[in-house]
């Protein structure tokens, strides 16, 4: 089961996250999401656990638990909805802006 973990302390690393969840069962992978430019943690991550039962127990026990002064949010990770690019519908986005050359008469 893939688990979302939010409101993480910014100094918490993947190994720290793994240690927290290993108390509840076997952890397959951990990933703390970081900003691609600064490298700083964005304050959330994901934990994958082999057993759904162990993962469910970890979610129940760790949701709203305090870690380094922050109450973490823990729940089952939901797949990101696929963004439709099909025709019709409301036009999104903007565009425009930028430099526009004006003709002089």
Question: What domains, with CATH codes, occur in the chain?
Answer: 2-75 (3.30.70.330)
Q: 38 pLDDT band (50/70/90 cuts)? A: very high
Q: Answer whether residue 93 shows pLDDT above 70.
A: no
CA torsion sign for 95, 100, 103, 104 is positive
- Note the pTM of the prediction, 2 decimals: 0.75
Q: Are 33 and 41 in contact (CB under 8 A)?
A: yes
User: SS3 sequence, 13-25?
Assistant: CHHHHHHHHHCCC
Q: What is the mean pLDDT of residues 1-30?
A: 97
Query: What angle (nearest 5°) sits at the alpha carbon of residue 20, between those of residues 67 and 74?
Result: 65
93 sits in the region (left: phi over 0; alpha: psi -120 to 50; else beta) called: left
Q: What is the pLDDT of residue 42?
A: 97
């Amino acid at each position: 089961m893939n688990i979302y973990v939010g409101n993480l302390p910014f100094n918490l690393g993947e190994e720290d996250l793994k240690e927290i969840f290993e108390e509840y069962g076997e952890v397959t992978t951990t990933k703390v999401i970081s900003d691609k430019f600064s490298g700083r943690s964005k304050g959330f991550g994901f934990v994958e656990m082999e057993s759904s039962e162990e993962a469910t127990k970890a979610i129940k026990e760790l949701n709203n638990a305090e870690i380094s002064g922050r109450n973490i949010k823990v729940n089952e990770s939901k797949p990101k909805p696929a963004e439709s690019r099909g025709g019709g519908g409301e036009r999104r986005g903007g565009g425009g802006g930028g430099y526009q050359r004006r003709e002089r008469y």
